[in-house]
């Protein structure tokens, strides 16, 4: 086959004469526009039937259905958005294929694809009217935590698709290109290191890091990607910056109780909190639980509880949105009749203020020094360090305009959870919208956001999109 292709390529200069060209004619780039023009738009075939004929049936013939050819849970996120009102004239000279002839050359079509996603990644998009401008992107992530819900992340992608539909309905052509982005591996389920997709888009995910990052089976992220047919060595090509993205908007569920408690449908995120997580190892002395006097004990759990109480107390005294969590506690030897000799615990602090994070861990270091003086051994291991991210004032202003035009109360709040936007904000202007989570629940099957609130979130984003497009 390569030899045949090379021979054809060598004869390309003779292809002006159709009788000297290779057999057949290119149909891939014209098939959908022609079917939309002559079929759907002229009432000869329904859109549902077109999807059946061009998507579902081919997938069944090739025995890749329902992985391909349908939009349902478990299928690949292969999506094509079409604009039934888009008009243009087929120009074979502009085909992406090597073949530059077509029986439809010069044919006027009405109806064409404007965005294509393959496995959640945008591979083609509708260009804006000004090709010199960078794109405005809207989206979030597709993955969820184990036994998680359906809204965290996915809502942002749905909002992006809805904005594309609204633009089609309004016959709106932006100056900027418009992209709907579906990002993967935000939650970090397999490798205990989240936001890998956001880091990759920001140029902050290195191939060497993937070769060191292992799952519970000891397999590296690099090898897993290779096994799925991906090319982790090409990561530098994924990086986006201001030359390709002018702005990025991430709609998301709140994952907390604030908006629902205030009966609000939409909130604007002004800050994504900084996160510092450390593992503390406290070694005391295991002893018999019945024969060792209290005054002679070096109980590692008692020491750990002092730390738990301290970080909770300091966070409450700060009262500035700072929260602390000691969510992991492993006790050795873990017997009811043995004084605990060793504790491994986590201490996490999240805050919109870097100074408050420093205050919390400064207090922890003081207490650890005190415990050492009492005879304990302590060790500290850093697990995560992310500084607070203050989102773009320009995008936030556009989102605020969206609230005003849609007659919604202005509400800004920080995000206590990490998001892809944390890293994407390092390469372009980023804004975030929150819709309320029922009962403040998230990362669980009960996760739910009412459709009406999602619709209002889309309306706000749509106004902001038009506002940013003026730039």
Strand partners, 316: none
Helix (H, G, I), strand (E, B) or coil at 408: coil
Q: State the pLDDT at residue 357.
A: 97
Strand partners, 432: 250, 269
pTM over 0.85: no
Question: What domains sit in the chain, N to C, each tagged with a CATH number?
Answer: 27-114 (2.30.40), 126-203+239-273+388-471 (3.40.630.10), 276-386 (3.30.70.360)
What gap in Å lies between CA 277 and CA 215, rounded to an integer?
Answer: 20
Q: State the pLDDT at residue 194.
A: 79
Tell me if 251 sits within 8 A of 457, measured CB to CB.
Answer: yes
Per-residue pLDDT of the chain (471 residues; tens, 9 = 90+): 334 334 444 444 555 555 555 555 678 889 999 999 999 999 999 999 999 999 999 999 999 999 999 988 888 888 998 889 888 898 887 776 767 788 899 999 999 888 788 887 777 766 787 878 999 999 999 988 888 999 999 999 999 999 998 998 888 889 999 999 999 889 887 777 778 899 999 999 999 989 988 887 889 999 998 998 888 998 888 899 999 999 999 999 999 999 999 999 999 999 999 999 999 999 999 999 999 999 999 999 999 999 999 999 999 999 999 999 999 999 999 999 999 999 999 999 999 999 999 999 999 999 999 999 999 999 999 988 889 999 999 999 999 999 999 999 999 999 988 899 999 999 999 999 999 999 999 999 999 999 999 999 999 999 999 999 998
Q: State the pLDDT at residue 326.
A: 96
Complete DSSP assignment for 309-365: HHHHHHHHHH-SS-EEE---EEEES--TTEE--EEEEEEEEEES-HHHHHHHHHHHH
Strand partners, 271: 390, 414
Contacts of 335 (CB under 8 A, 6+ apart): 289
Contacts of 175 (CB under 8 A, 6+ apart): 128, 129, 130, 133, 469, 470
C-alpha to C-alpha distances, 418 to 186, 260, 374, nearest whole angstrom: 9, 20, 37
């Amino acid at each position: 086959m390569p030899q045949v292709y090379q021979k054809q390529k060598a004869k390309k200069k003779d292809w002006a004469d159709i009788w000297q060209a290779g057999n057949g004619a290119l149909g891939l780039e014209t098939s959908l526009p022609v079917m939309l023009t002559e079929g759907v738009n002229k009432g000869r075939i329904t859109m549902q039937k077109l999807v059946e004929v061009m998507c579902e049936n081919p997938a069944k013939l090739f025995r890749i259905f329902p992985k391909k050819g349908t939009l349902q849970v478990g299928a690949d996120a292969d999506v094509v958005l079409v604009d039934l009102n888009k008009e243009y004239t087929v120009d074979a000279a502009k085909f992406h294929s090597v073949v530059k002839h077509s029986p439809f050359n010069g044919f006027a079509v009405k109806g064409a694809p404007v965005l294509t996603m393959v496995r959640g990644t945008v591979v083609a998009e509708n260009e804006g009217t000004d090709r010199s401008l960078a794109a405005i992107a809207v989206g979030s992530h597709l993955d969820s935590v184990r036994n998680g819900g359906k809204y965290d992340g996915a809502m942002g992608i749905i909002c992006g698709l809805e904005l594309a539909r609204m633009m089609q309905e309004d016959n709106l052509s932006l100056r900027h290109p418009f992209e709907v982005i579906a990002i993967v591996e935000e939650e970090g389920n397999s490798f205990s290191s989240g936001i890998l997709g956001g880091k990759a888009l920001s140029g902050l995910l290195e191939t060497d890091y993937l070769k060191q990052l292992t799952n519970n089976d000891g397999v590296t992220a690099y090898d897993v990607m290779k096994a799925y047919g991906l090319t982790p060595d090409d990561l530098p090509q994924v990086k986006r910056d201001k030359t390709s993205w002018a702005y990025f908007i991430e709609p998301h569920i709140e994952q907390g109780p604030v908006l629902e408690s205030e009966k609000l449908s939409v909130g604007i995120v002004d800050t994504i909190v900084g996160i510092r997580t450390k593992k503390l190892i406290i070694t005391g002395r295991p002893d018999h639980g019945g024969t060792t006097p209290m005054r002679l004990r070096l109980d590692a759990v008692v020491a750990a509880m002092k730390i738990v109480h301290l970080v909770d107390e300091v966070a409450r005294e700060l009262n500035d949105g700072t929260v602390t969590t000691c969510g992991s506690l492993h006790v050795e030897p873990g017997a009811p009749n043995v004084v605990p000799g060793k504790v491994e615990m986590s201490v996490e602090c999240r805050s919109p203020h870097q100074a408050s994070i420093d205050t919390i861990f400064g207090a922890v270091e003081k207490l650890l020094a005190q415990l050492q003086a009492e005879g304990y051994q302590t060790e500290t291991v850093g697990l995560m360090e992310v500084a607070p991210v203050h989102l773009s004032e320009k995008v936030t202003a556009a989102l605020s305009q969206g609230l005003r035009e849609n007659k919604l109360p202005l509400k800004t709040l920080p995000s206590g959870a990490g998001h892809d936007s944390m890293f994407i904000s390092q390469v372009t202007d980023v804004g975030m919208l929150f819709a309320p989570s029922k009962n403040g629940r998230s990362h669980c099957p009960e996760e739910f956001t009412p459709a009406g609130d999602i619709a209002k979130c889309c309306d706000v984003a749509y106004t902001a999109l038009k506002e940013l497009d003026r730039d």
